[in-house]
Amino acid sequence: MSKLVELSSEVAAALAGGSPVVALESTIIAHGMSYPANVATALEVEALIREEGAIPATIAVIGGKLHAGLSAEQIEHIGRTGAEMPKLSTRDLAYAVATGSDGATTVASTMQIAARAGIRIFATGGIGGVHRGGGTTFDISADLTELSRTPVAVVSAGAKAILDLPLTLEWLETLSVPVVGYGTGEFPAFYSRSSGLPLHMRCDTPSEMAAFLAAQWELGSIGVLIANPIPADQEILASEITPVIAEAVSEAQRRKISGKAVTPFLLAQLAQVTAGRSLKANIALVKNNARVAARIAAAYCASASDPKVCALLG
């Protein structure tokens, strides 16, 4: 484990004892939804992971220190600070450390910190990817680059539906990042179970996925995207949400919103237009991903011939 990362006592004990640990990001708390729903959801997600026999490790930068495993008070601090909390990707970590700042970690920076801590499994809502129009703007999330170089498995409901999903998959293929469907042969579209984009790798159980991850990391040091569809009773059909997303994207362009501000703006617009249905779907898929990640982490640890291998590898 890197000396730069401070583990909570619970996470440290789990890793030392070979117990499964699941990393969680903090941007979803600060920028994904408003207070107090953000804090309540974060604590509920941690509780779900514990119910599945794993230990949650919510990751953030607090006072310039990289934390893996937060207290309820620290989660409350991030939730109350909300959008005023800096959003830290990998390029921002050194500056936050050097200046003693606070910051909420994105998928990319959470992956990097998790890997330093020795945690291999990470649950989130949806990864970033190629933004619509990215073929000309080159607005591409650092999440994709991080997946290509950091050996952490990210359980998500695909990429955020506000993105260009076909181009995101193309870019992941270019970067040689495996995208594995969990119980599906299609790439999920965040709020919707199907995007119409086929996947050529699929695992149907935690043990199958654990075996795949072990083989992947024996062959090379690279991330894995585990595509886990939103539960059927919580999805918003693509035919309904697609035009709403298109209008929100157009509105962002009219207002000249760019960079890190795009995703929070679009998610807020969708929540408003759908009368909160998109937020409910977002919460449902995050919880579902957390459960699946905990089961995969448990299977990954159980498959190790020496329990300490789980602690060493995450």
pTM of this structure = 0.93
pLDDT, tens only, 215-235: 999 998 899 999 999 999 999
Task: Provide φ and ψ at 161, rounded to 5°.
Answer: -65, -15
Residue 314 pLDDT greater than 90, yes or no: no
Mean pLDDT confidence for 176-203: 97
309 by Cβ neighbours in 10 Å (0-12 / 13-18 / 19+) ranks as: middle
Distance, CA of 213 to CA of 210 (rounded, Å): 5
Residue 119 pLDDT greater than 90, yes or no: yes
More confident residue, 271 or 109: 109
Q: Which two tokens stand for residue 159?
A: 């990429």
Average pLDDT across the chain, whole number: 93
Question: Annotated catalytic sites, by residue?
Answer: 25, 160
Q: Which residues of 29-55 are buried (b: 16+ CB within 10 A; e: fewer)?
A: bbbbbebeebbebbbebbebbeebebb
- What domains does the chain contain, in order, with CATH numbers? 5-307 (3.40.1790.10)
Q: Count the Cβ atoms, other than its own, within 10 Å of residue 276.
A: 12
Mean pLDDT confidence for 257-283: 88
Tell me if 260 sits within 8 A of 190, measured CB to CB: no
User: What does the pLDDT read at residue 179?
Assistant: 98
DSSP codes joined into one string, 130-193:
BBTTHHHH--B-HHHHHHTTS--EEEESBB-TTB-HHHHHHHHHHTT--EEEES-SB--BTTBS
Which amino acid is located at 242 in the chain?
A: T
User: What does the pLDDT read at residue 134?
Assistant: 82
Taking the alpha carbons at both ends of the chain, their separation in whole angstroms is 10
User: What does the pLDDT read at residue 136?
Assistant: 81
Categorize the per-residue pLDDT at 308 as very low, low, confident or very high, splitting at 50, 70 and 90. very low
Which residue is listed with tokens 């804090």? 39
% of the chain surpassing 70 pLDDT: 96
Mean pLDDT confidence for 99-107: 98
Mean pLDDT confidence for 90-119: 97
Nearest CA-CA partner of 266 in 246, 243, 249 = 249
Spatial CB neighbours of 89, under 8 Å, sequence gap ≥ 6: 106, 108, 109, 142
Q: Which two tokens stand for residue 245?
A: 């997303």
Residue 266 pLDDT greater than 90, yes or no: no
Q: Which two tokens stand for residue 227?
A: 């595509």
Spatial CB neighbours of 301, under 8 Å, sequence gap ≥ 6: 18, 19, 20, 307, 310
% of the chain surpassing 90 pLDDT: 82
pLDDT, tens only, 48-63: 999 999 999 999 999 9
